[in-house]
């Protein structure tokens, strides 16, 4: 009873009930768990605190152990190479390997001087007490900008004591908001890991926090001595309870999802029983849509899987109340569309196979108009969706330089491809349905009909577009979309190309259409970028800068140890100012600014300055904000019409005494276009860096109160052009779009009027029209990714096909195609690699030459001035920087003696010591000049080191491309883009040509293979046609001849066998008949004698003779019956045969024929008692008859009655005439020119021999149906 | 009859004048109204209250690192995600300044992020676009 209860759908319903109970139970349990946690919170808190403390200590110990282990390995390495001739070189190389692990290493010789290093250094001499004092202990060390965990130790080399210092960075005290910055923060790591706020004091004298909400503990070194204090905010009860609630919510969400899936499985059985395909499709679509909505409401997976793909700042659209609000949600929604679309295609294919045709022209017209409208609405939907992909996204699909882009862009590309695929498939389904509904009276000439429909669609599309206020896409894309859909639909409907290959064609068509649309909208975005630029220029104003200034000052004054810093003698104020500046909105917004420290007398102590040329002033108190100790005021800038916004904050001691000041200065320059002009590694991710177009191609003209004051362009405007620009914006919107000829080139110009801070500004942003045009390289950049994905799908399909044994080995065609591709593509790839390598070498040479030239010029300039003037050398170095406009560094052995960008060395961002690699090569190996790759954060740049002479001394001159702009012939990015475009096109052409050639060459072989299979299956009516010449023609002619001979021999053999069998049988019959005839003759002779003799026993003899004759006649009759039975039937090998595989094998023989054979059999086994070969021959025969009757579509279907398995074979051929319909099963009757007409007769005989039947079920000019009835076992 | 007609005309004129004056007042008061809507919308996790005022490209800079110009569609979800992560405890405007084409407001934003409390300062500016006030910039850091 239990088994019965759980059988069938009840199984699913029961599971759903269990899941629902679980959801409710969780809802009941949650408050209990929360209450329990709440009441036991005190104890739990103590445990948590202990756990966190232990865990942090363990982490810290691991870091120390790693540091010490690496130190030991360093010692071992030093000892192993000490006696090598190139010891120093080898040592430098080993230290480079430590660099890769993140360690900073310094080695000191026996005199205590630095002899080898790998990075920035903490100290250049062992005279620093800490190295010797703390040898063998881990401790925290501080550089200007970083805090390290360090370990120093001794190593004995040739009897003398050398020291080394190995350090692991723990904390960066500055940050940039850009892609180059790499955060190193042990505090951030701990805060994120334990979900609380951590603070670490990296010195041994730090105290515990007195705040009761926090917990502090000591950080101990390897000698168990205190070296720092870690403090964290104790976990709060509320946040712990919130985590529990979130966990419960997540589990409930998953259970709801699971219940919905189970419901789907449970309802599937009812779904399968739905009769009408359209209803089935609607239900399937409804379920998928509901599932998608449910996933969205439950927040699966975005809320539970932390990923950048769920970040709305990459892409989000308002469609469907946020159902595509991130790249991940977009992908999931598109995937749901894909499932619905594939269902639509599948059901439409089934409908196409139906023989039923529409004969009503009115119905056809209605269908045509309705579906055409639907077509264009869906096309518009595609356009709108792709517009959103471009406009509602910060991803720049056509600017991405990497071959395989980052995940958010990659997933959007795949989503776009799938969306395009859905559109193409959906549109093809519409066209197919229209084809299907064409009445037969007008469908005689398929080409004419399709052409008329095609032009109708084009016209309808044009009309639809002109009625739209904002058509989506372009006429060209619309025309191509319709053309592609018609070609695909024609292939499927009229040429019966219904294979898996269709999906590949759909995908490539989708890729082409979707990229074309994306490109179209990207061009629109590029135009829109002109508007964005003008808004960005006018975004920054005095109020905003004042806000940033105040924020920076407040943040500086709130710094924990600021009052100690301001009174410390010899403090590196530059570095401190930099730390404040880097974490402020001034860096984030790339504002021209400076941060300075002043003592209590307002004397300058130190600071950093990015872009402000300003001498130093004394201050007078103006208005004070006493609460915040901040004064803000405005001054004129000495060097232009700009203003300086200045802020001064008082740094006070605990007893209120002013110890010093922090000063922040911001330049407010209305002429400043907001374009970043500093070093690349400082640049921020601003609006400019994320434009759809290349900033270097735009021109900006800035008018103030009608006068052109500022330009970002090398073009001079004429007064006429200026007037056009100034008079163009309309009064309501204050903006205008126009075209202007600038330098004989048409430019699209956006003009914006705005008024801010009492200045009427007119900003004109221009871009050459030819720049905003369709670009082949852009197209292939995206096409490459689509193709990559399609190839992966094809490979996956092949692997699955192998796994399911649907593909056994590579076919001849595939081998040919593979061979063509390998022969063509490999050399292409090698060529591309060679070209890229060549370009890189060319770039390296250009870098070497251009930087080298500058170095030599600096050397000459400085030497010339040294000789001719009495200026001191540092002044000459400064003069060289200004006069030559070259930024450079000078090293005396390893030490920096001069830098044009000294501020970066002072703050500690650049080291005060020469690059170790360069030093090793130049000093140890004697190379005169070398280019070395260096980096600041993740910003890589090249530096040219040159050993020169200044005066009588050797110096090393360094020129970097980070501070000196050099133009390279072609950057790596440009090369990659070029290779994308040109080689992708070549690869596509190769694939198309190779496929075509492989098809052509292998076509005769494929036909031959199938024909051979047919012959092996017993079908000797096969004859191949071949129009080519040469060996192929000979092969096919030979094959045809062979089959004819085989058939002839078979017939002759059959004839001979029949004759021989009949002769034998005749002999047997004669022999058998003779036996009873002899006694009959004797008996009759006896009777004659008795009659002649008038024998008295005549009556007895008569009776005896008649009995004998009757018995012998009976014997003769039995002999005749037996022979008849024997002759009636051939030998059949009866066995249990499953019909489905036999039918499937027979169908497979016709794969290459121009006929689409659909098989609609139930999944249950249909088992009959028959001869397997005869069944197969019968099916083959019937299919061949259909093909010969010009059918291009055959449906093999199943019916069930209580006693038989009924197989119907229905075709759409020319039918059988009524007059001959009742003769088709007769032996020797045929309508064919060739053939004996035995096929149907043999089929009939066979079926009857197994007590089944074969009948002509129906026939007409639309086709014929033959019905086979197999009795059930 | 004539008297009734005159009275009717007077009434029509009166309401016409009132509506005109109301419209003008509405335009002049709008920055304040918008700032109030932003304040209440953020406090109550309801971005819809002020999302209609986003420009076609609005610049934002938030504590969570999101920074740049975004379309109004995108901005809706970015702001929504932000206030769902940095849950507002209070959103207080301390200063509003208005001009003919530009207005701004500054203040303090107290939030709770993964159970940890914090405070940030915000700067929100409005600009006129096609005759209407629109939010041009939101900075919360």
Q: Inform me whether the pLDDT recorded for B23 exceeds 50.
A: no
Ranking A203-207, A706-710, A1058-1062 by mean pLDDT, the lowest is A1058-1062
Assess whether pLDDT exceeds 60 at residue A808: no
Q: Which residues of B touch A326 (CB under 8 A)?
A: 77
CATH number for the domain that contains residue B98? 3.10.450.50
State the average pLDDT for chain A. 85
Q: Which residue has the tokens 């990559």?
A: A788
- Number of C-alpha atoms within 13 angstroms, CB side, residue A1206? 13
| Cβ pair B61:A196 closer than 8 A | no
Using CA atoms, how far apart are residues A257 and A245, in angstroms rounded to an integer?
A: 18
What does the pLDDT average to over A1109-1121? 80
pLDDT band at B82 (very low <50, low <70, confident <90, very high): very high
Q: CB contact, 8 Å: B20 with chain A?
A: no
Note whether B102 contacts A: Cβ–Cβ < 8 A.
Answer: yes
Least trusted range by pLDDT, from A524-528, A1021-1025, A1217-1221? A1021-1025
Question: Which domains does chain A carry?
Answer: 43-235 (3.30.450.20), 544-671 (3.30.450.20), 694-771 (3.40.1840), 836-975 (3.30.450.20), 1031-1128 (1.10.287), 1135-1271 (3.30.565.10)
DSSP code of residue A765? E
Residue-range definition of the domain harbouring residue B93: 2-140
Cα–Cα dist A153/A140, whole Å: 15
Vertex B89: Cα angle to B84 and B91 (nearest 5): 95
- The helix or strand, by DSSP H or E, that contains position A995, with its residue range, turns out to be helix A972-1016
Q: Is the pLDDT of residue A488 over 80?
A: yes
Q: Is the pLDDT of residue A1130 over 80?
A: no
DSSP A697: G
Question: Tokens 């639809």 identify what position?
Answer: A464
Residue A803: burial class (beta carbons within 10 Å; 0-12, 13-18, 19+): exposed
Statement: residue A809 has pLDDT above 70? no
**Tokens found for residue A809:** 């080995």
* Tokens 């690496």 belong to residue: A70
- Per-residue pLDDT tens for A49-71? 999 999 999 999 999 999 999 99
In chain B, residues with a C-beta closer than 8 Å to the C-beta of A242 are 115
Please state, in angstroms and rounded to a whole number, the distance separating the CA atoms of residues A1045 and A1072: 39
Q: Which residue of B has its CA nearest to A547?
A: B123
Q: Which stretches of A150-228 are DSSP H helices?
A: 186-194
pLDDT: is A483 or B29 the higher one?
A483
β-strand A1156-1160 against A1193-1200: which pairing, if any?
parallel
Residue A1232 has pLDDT above 70, yes or no: no
Determine whether the interchain pair A755/B69 forms a contact, defined as Cβ–Cβ distance below 8 Å.
no
Nearest-neighbour CA in chain B from A217: distance (Å): 20
* Chain B nearest CA to A670, separation (Å): 16
User: Which residue, chain included where needed, has tokens 């007077």?
Assistant: B10
Q: How many domains does chain B have?
A: 1
Measured between CA atoms, how close is A725 to chain B, in angstroms? Answer: 19
Of residues A909 and A673, the one with the higher pLDDT is A909
Answer whether B101 sits within 8 Å of A733, measured CB to CB.
no
Q: Considering only A15-24, A866-875, A1041-1050, which range has the smallest mean pLDDT?
A: A866-875
Angstroms from A755 CA to nearest CA on chain B: 7
pLDDT score of B18 more than 50? no
Our CA-based measurement puts residue A163 at a distance from the nearest CA of chain B, in whole angstroms, of 43
Taking the C-alpha atoms of residue B22 and residue B27, their distance in angstroms, rounded to an integer, is: 9
Here the tokens at position A214 are: 């926090």
pLDDT at A1206 over 90: yes
- Res. B5: pLDDT tops 70: no
B93: enclosing H helix or E strand? strand B86-98
Q: Cβ contact (<8 Å) for B77 and A394?
A: no
Return d(Cα A418, Cα A789) in angstroms, integer: 11
Q: Which residues of chain B are within 8 Å of residue A394 when distances are taken between CB atoms?
A: 68, 70, 74
**Tens of pLDDT along A548-578?**
999 999 999 988 889 989 998 888 999 999 9
Q: Give me the residues paired with residue A631 across strands.
A: A648
Q: Which of A434-438, A1125-1129, A1240-1244 has the highest mean pLDDT?
A: A434-438
Asked whether the beta carbons of residue A392 and residue B74 sit closer than 8 angstroms, the reply is yes
| Inter-CA distances, A608 with A180, A591, A667, A1257, Å | 21, 13, 14, 97
The per-residue pLDDT for A487 is 92
Q: Tell me: pLDDT of B21 over 50.
A: no
Give the number of other CB atoms < 10 A from CB of residue A1188.
14
pLDDT in tens, A820-854: 878 887 888 788 888 888 888 888 888 898 899 99
Contact between residue A368 and residue A455 where contact means Cβ atoms under 8 Å apart: no
Task: Provide the ipTM.
Answer: 0.82
Long-range Cβ pairs for the range A1008-1011 (8 Å, 24+): A1008/A1035, A1008/A1036, A1008/A1039, A1010/A1149, A1010/A1150, A1010/A1151, A1010/A1152, A1011/A1039, A1011/A1043
Confidence band, pLDDT 50/70/90 cuts, at residue A497: low
pLDDT surpassing 70 at residue A1187: yes
Inter-chain CB proximity A391 and B121 less than 8 Å: no
């Amino acid at each position: 009873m239990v088994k019965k209860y759980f059988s069938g759908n009840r199984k699913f319903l029961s599971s759903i009930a269990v899941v629902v109970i679980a959801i409710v139970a969780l809802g009941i349990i949650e408050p209990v768990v929360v209450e329990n946690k709440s009441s036991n919170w005190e104890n739990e808190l103590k445990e948590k605190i202990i756990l966190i403390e232990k865990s942090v200590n363990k982490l810290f110990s691991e870091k120390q152990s790693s540091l010490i282990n690496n130190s030991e390995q360093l010692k071992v390495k030093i000892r192993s190479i000490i006696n090598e001739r190139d010891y120093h070189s080898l040592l430098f190389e080993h230290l480079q390997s430590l660099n890769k692990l993140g360690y900073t290493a310094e080695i000191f010789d026996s005199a205590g001087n630095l002899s080898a290093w790998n990075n920035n250094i903490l100290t250049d001499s062992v005279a620093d007490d800490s190295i010797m004092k703390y040898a063998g202990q881990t401790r925290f060390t501080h550089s200007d900008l970083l805090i390290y965990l360090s370990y120093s130790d001794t190593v004995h080399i040739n009897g003398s004591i050398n020291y080394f210092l190995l350090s692991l960075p723990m904390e960066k005290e500055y940050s940039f908001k850009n892609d180059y910055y790499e955060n190193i923060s042990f505090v951030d790591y701990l805060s994120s890991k334990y979900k609380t706020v951590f603070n670490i004091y990296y010195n041994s004298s730090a105290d515990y926090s007195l705040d009761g909400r926090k917990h502090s503990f000591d950080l101990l070194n390897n000698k168990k001595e205190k070296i720092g204090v870690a403090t964290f905010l104790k976990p709060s009860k509320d946040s712990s309870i919130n985590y529990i609630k979130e966990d419960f919510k997540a589990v409930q969400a998953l259970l709801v999802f699971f219940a919905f899936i189970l419901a789907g499985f449970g309802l599937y059985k009812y779904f399968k029983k739905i009769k009408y395909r359209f209803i089935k499709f609607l239900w399937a679509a409804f379920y998928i849509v509901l599932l998608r909505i449910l996933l969205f409401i439950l927040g699966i997976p975005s809320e539970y899987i932390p990923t950048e793909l769920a970040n709305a700042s990459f892409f989000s659209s308002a469609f469907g109340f946020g159902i595509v609000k991130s790249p991940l949600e977009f992908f999931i929604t598109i995937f749901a569309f894909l499932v619905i679309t594939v269902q639509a295609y599948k059901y439409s294919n089934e409908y196409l196979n139906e023989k039923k045709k529409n004969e009503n022209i009115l119905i056809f017209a209605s269908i045509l108009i309705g579906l055409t409208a639907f077509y264009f609405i869906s096309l518009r939907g595609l356009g709108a969706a792709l517009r959103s992909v471009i406009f509602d996204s910060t991803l720049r699909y056509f600017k991405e330089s990497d071959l395989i882009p980052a995940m958010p862009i990659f997933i959007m590309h795949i989503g776009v491809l799938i969306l395009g695929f859905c559109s193409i498939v959906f549109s093809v389904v519409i066209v197919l349905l229209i084809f299907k509904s064409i009445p037969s009276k007008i469908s005689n000439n398929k080409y004419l009909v399709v052409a008329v429909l095609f032009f109708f669609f084009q016209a309808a599309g044009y009309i639809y577009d002109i009625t739209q206020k904002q058509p989506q896409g372009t006429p060209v894309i619309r025309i191509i979309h319709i053309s592609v859909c018609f070609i695909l639909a024609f292939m499927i409907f009229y040429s019966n190309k219904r294979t898996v290959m269709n999906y590949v064609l759909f995908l490539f068509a989708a890729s082409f259409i979707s990229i074309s649309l994306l490109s179209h909208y990207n061009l629109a975005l590029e135009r829109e970028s002109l508007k964005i630029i003008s808004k960005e220029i006018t975004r920054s104003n005095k109020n905003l800068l004042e806000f940033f200034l105040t924020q920076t000052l407040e943040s500086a004054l709130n710094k924990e140890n600021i009052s100690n810093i301001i009174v410390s003698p010899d403090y590196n104020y530059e570095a401190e100012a930099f730390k404040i500046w880097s974490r402020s909105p001034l860096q984030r917004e790339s504002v021209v600014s400076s941060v300075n420290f002043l003592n209590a007398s307002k004397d300058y102590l130190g600071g950093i300055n990015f872009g402000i040329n300003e001498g130093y002033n004394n201050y007078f108190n103006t208005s004070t904000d006493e609460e915040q100790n901040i004064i803000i005021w405005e001054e004129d800038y000495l060097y232009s019409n700009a203003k300086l916004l200045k802020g001064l904050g008082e740094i006070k001691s605990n007893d209120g005494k002013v110890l010093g000041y922090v000063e922040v200065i911001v330049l407010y320059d209305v002429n400043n276009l907001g374009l970043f002009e500093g070093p690349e590694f400082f640049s921020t991710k601003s609006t400019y860096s994320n434009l759809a177009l290349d900033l270097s191609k735009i021109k900006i003209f800035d008018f103030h109160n009608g006068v052109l004051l500022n330009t970002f362009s090398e073009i001079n405007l004429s007064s006429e052009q200026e007037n056009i620009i100034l008079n163009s914006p309309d009064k309501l919107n204050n903006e205008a779009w126009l075209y202007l000829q600038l330098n004989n080139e048409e430019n699209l110009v956006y003009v914006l009027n705005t008024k801010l801070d009492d200045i009427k500004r007119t900003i004109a942003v221009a871009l050459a029209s030819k720049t905003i045009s369709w670009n082949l390289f852009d197209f292939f950049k995206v096409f490459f990714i689509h193709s990559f994905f399609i190839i992966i799908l094809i490979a996956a399909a092949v692997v699955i096909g192998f796994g399911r044994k649907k593909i056994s080995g590579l076919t001849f065609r595939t081998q040919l195609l593979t061979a063509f591709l390998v022969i063509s593509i490999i050399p292409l790839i090698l060529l591309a690699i060679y070209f890229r390598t060549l370009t890189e070498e060319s770039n390296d040479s250009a870098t070497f030459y251009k930087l080298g030239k500058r170095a030599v010029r600096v050397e000459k300039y400085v030497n010339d001035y040294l000789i001719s003037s009495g200026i001191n050398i540092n002044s000459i170095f400064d003069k060289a920087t200004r006069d030559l406009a070259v930024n450079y560094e000078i090293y005396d052995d390893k030490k920096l003696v001069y830098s044009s960008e000294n501020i970066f060395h002072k703050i500690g961002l650049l080291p005060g010591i020469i690059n170790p690699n360069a030093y090793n090569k130049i000093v140890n190996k004697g190379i005169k000049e070398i280019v070395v790759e260096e980096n600041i954060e993740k910003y890589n740049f090249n530096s040219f080191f040159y050993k020169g002479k200044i005066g009588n001394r050797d110096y090393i001159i360094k020129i970097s491309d980070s501070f000196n702009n050099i133009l390279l012939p072609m950057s790596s990015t440009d090369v990659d883009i070029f290779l994308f475009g040109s080689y992708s096109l070549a690869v596509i052409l190769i694939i198309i040509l190779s496929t075509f050639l492989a098809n052509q060459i292998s076509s005769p072989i494929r036909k031959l293979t199938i024909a051979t299979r047919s012959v092996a299956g017993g079908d000797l009516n096969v004859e191949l046609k071949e129009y080519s010449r040469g060996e192929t023609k000979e092969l096919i002619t030979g094959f045809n001849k062979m089959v004819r001979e085989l058939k002839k021999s078979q017939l002759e053999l059959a004839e001979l066998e029949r004759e021989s069998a009949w002769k034998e049988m005749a002999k047997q019959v004669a022999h058998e008949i003779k036996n009873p005839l002899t006694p009959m003759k004797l008996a009759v002779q006896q009777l004659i004698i008795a009659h002649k003799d008038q024998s008295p026993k005549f009556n007895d003899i008569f009776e005896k003779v008649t009995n004998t004759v009757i018995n012998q006649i009976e014997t003769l009759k039995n002999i005749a019956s037996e022979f008849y039975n024997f002759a009636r039937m051939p030998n059949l090998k009866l066995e249990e045969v499953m019909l489905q595989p036999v039918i499937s094998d027979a169908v497979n023989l016709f794969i290459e024929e121009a006929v689409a054979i659909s098989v609609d059999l139930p999944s249950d086994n249909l088992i009959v008692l028959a001869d397997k070969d005869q069944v197969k021959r019968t099916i083959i025969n019937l299919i061949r008859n259909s093909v010969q009757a010009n059918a291009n579509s055959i449906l093999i279907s199943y019916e069930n009655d209580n006693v038989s398995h009924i197989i119907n074979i229905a075709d759409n051929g020319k039918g059988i005439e009524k007059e001959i319909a009742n003769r088709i099963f007769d032996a020797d009757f045929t309508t064919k020119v060739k053939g004996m007409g035995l096929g149907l007769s043999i089929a009939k005989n066979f079926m009857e021999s197994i007590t089944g039947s074969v009948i002509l079920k129906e026939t007409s000019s639309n086709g014929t149906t033959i019905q086979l009835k197999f009795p059930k076992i | 009859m004539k008297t009734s007609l005159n009275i009717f005309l007077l009434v029509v004129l009166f309401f016409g004048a009132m509506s005109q004056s109301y419209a003008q007042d509405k335009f002049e008061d709008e920055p304040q109204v918008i700032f109030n809507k932003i304040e209440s919308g953020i406090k109550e996790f309801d971005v819809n209250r002020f999302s209609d005022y986003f420009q076609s490209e609005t610049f934002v800079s938030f504590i969570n690192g999101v920074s740049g110009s975004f379309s109004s569609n995108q901005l809706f979800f970015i702001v929504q995600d932000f206030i769902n992560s940095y849950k507002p405890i209070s959103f207080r405007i301390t200063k509003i300044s208005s001009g003919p084409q530009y207005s701004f407001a500054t203040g303090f934003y107290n939030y709770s992020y993964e159970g940890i409390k914090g405070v940030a300062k915000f700067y929100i500016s409005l600009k006129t676009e096609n005759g209407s006030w629109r939010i041009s910039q939101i900075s919360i850091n």
